[in-house]
Structure 1
Amino acid sequence: MTAGAVLVASLGSVGVANAQPVTPAAPAVVAQAGAQAAAPEFVAPGKTLKIGAKGNEVKVLQGRLKELGYAPGKIDGRYGGATQAAVWAFQKVNGISPTSTVASRTWNALEAPKAPKVLVPGGKPTRVEMNLAKQVMVLYVNGQVKLISHTSSGSGIPYCETANWNGKVQRFCGDARTPTGDYKTTWRRSGWHKSYLGQLYNPIFFNGGIAFHGALSVPLAPASHGCVRLPMNVAGMLPSLLGKNVPVHVRGKFVR
């Protein structure tokens, strides 16, 4: 079991076969059904923002990230941890070295965003793709990008830890890897779930004891025992978006 897992909740069965995933497009690219013209283009305010910033520019940033499928938390004009994690995810998808500072390069990318790389082109229209190289998770629903999140997967550093489990002190060892492969979501728990390696928030398991779950620490580098850690706000919303028996595809390798 990992001390970092990703939670996925019930979305229901999918009847569309092999639809090609479509990433969220900027308003200038996709018009609403029946509209005569495309929505106005997004124009970035351009002001450099850092953690702790407040104001309308932060609200614009949050709104744009949410529109593109990222999860910046509450649209409240306050640049906190949830918004930082969404910024990191966006930067990684767009080939920008992740930083909490939102400056010209990130604003420019928000005006002309890239879609996440599709890891399984022929995959089911509802599925999860976990990109270990970029430490990004993408949830597709009915062929559309529904959620893109920053993650922290298995560190790859072998461990041995002692814990009181099932009434006795036991020693657990492992390689702290998040294995690549094709899986499906299985069982889950709501709220905090105690494992022998730590606490997992809203875990959704997809490979034995490996799960998507919320964690209080989701650093830029892989740091878990093997699970996929998610920001707490993402773990809070994921159960209502992703159900049981949904394909999970894990690909890539993180290079430190």
Structure 2
Amino acid sequence: MLERGDEGAEVLAVQERLIELGYFLRRADGDFGPATQQAVWALQKAAGLARDGLVGPATRAALDAGTRPSARTTSGRAIEIDLDRQLVLAVDDGVVTRVVNASSGNGERYVALGRPQRAYTPTGDYTVVRQINGMHESTLELGSMYRPKYFRGGWAVHGSTSIPPWPASHGCVRVSNAAMDWIWDTWGAPLGTPVVVY
């Protein structure tokens, strides 16, 4: 069993396999830190396993089997958001390039600017319609969003320091700040990039 805080060759091997399968992890360094935990959660979600962040027998079996989600889009570059599995997929011509742990709307009621709201993430076919290359404060006073890419009104995919393996947001789709940097700086998802939420 491997868990957060572990170090060494076994952790390195797991990290290398996660990267090989397309799970977002910047580098394999043999240190089971928060970034590795995010990648393990993503694998567990894709495999339909308990989201405990531990690399035990079932998670190792998923790694060995090469478990990775399939894309729904078939052409061009697209961001796919799988709400059931709480994953963001970076897709190129029908091939999943990266699998990212995500956290979307939790369905709870809340009040913003004196008005009752429900924390949900809308499904449907959208595009990136607005983006802010930096930290942005929610106009509804719901907190900070790192490098948001908006796809419908106030809904965006954005970086955060809190991405648990379950729905926890007011409706936006949270990914790690490192994953958001990768989307902006390496992969690229300019205005007009399709965003498919299901």
1:1-256 alignment runs, 5 A limit: 48-118=1-71, 120=72, 123-161=74-112, 170-196=113-139, 197-240=142-185, 241=187, 242-251=189-198
Checking the alignment, whether the CA contact within 8 Å between 1:158 and 1:174 is kept in structure 2 is yes
Displaced runs of 4+ in structure 1, greater than 6 A?
none
Deviation of 1:225 after TM superposition, in Å, equals 1.0
Q: Distance in 1 between matches of 2:88 and 2:128?
A: 14
SS at match of 1:97: coil
Q: Distance in 2 between matches of 1:172 and 1:113?
A: 46
Deviation of 1:143 after TM superposition, in Å, equals 3.0
Q: Distance in 1 between matches of 2:16 and 2:129?
A: 33
1:82 alignment partner AA: A
Q: Work out which of the two has the higher radius of gyration on C-alpha atoms and give 1 or 2.
A: 1
Name 1:35's counterpart in structure 2. none
Across the two proteins, how many residue pairs are aligned to each other?
A: 194
Checking the alignment, whether the CA contact within 8 Å between 2:43 and 2:68 is kept in structure 1 is no
Checking the alignment, whether the CA contact within 8 Å between 2:2 and 2:54 is kept in structure 1 is yes
Q: Distance in 2 between matches of 1:159 and 1:217?
A: 19
Q: Distance in 2 between matches of 1:83 and 1:132?
A: 21
**Which has a greater percent of strand?**
2
Identity %: 38
**Which has a greater percent of helix?**
2
What's the TM-score, normalizing by structure 1? 0.72
Q: Which runs of 5+ in 1 are unaligned?
A: 1-47, 162-169, 252-256
Q: Distance in 2 between matches of 1:172 and 1:200?
A: 21
Q: Distance in 2 between matches of 1:213 and 1:192?
A: 10
Q: Distance in 2 between matches of 1:172 and 1:147?
A: 37
Checking the alignment, whether the CA contact within 8 Å between 2:148 and 2:158 is kept in structure 1 is yes
SS at match of 1:72: coil
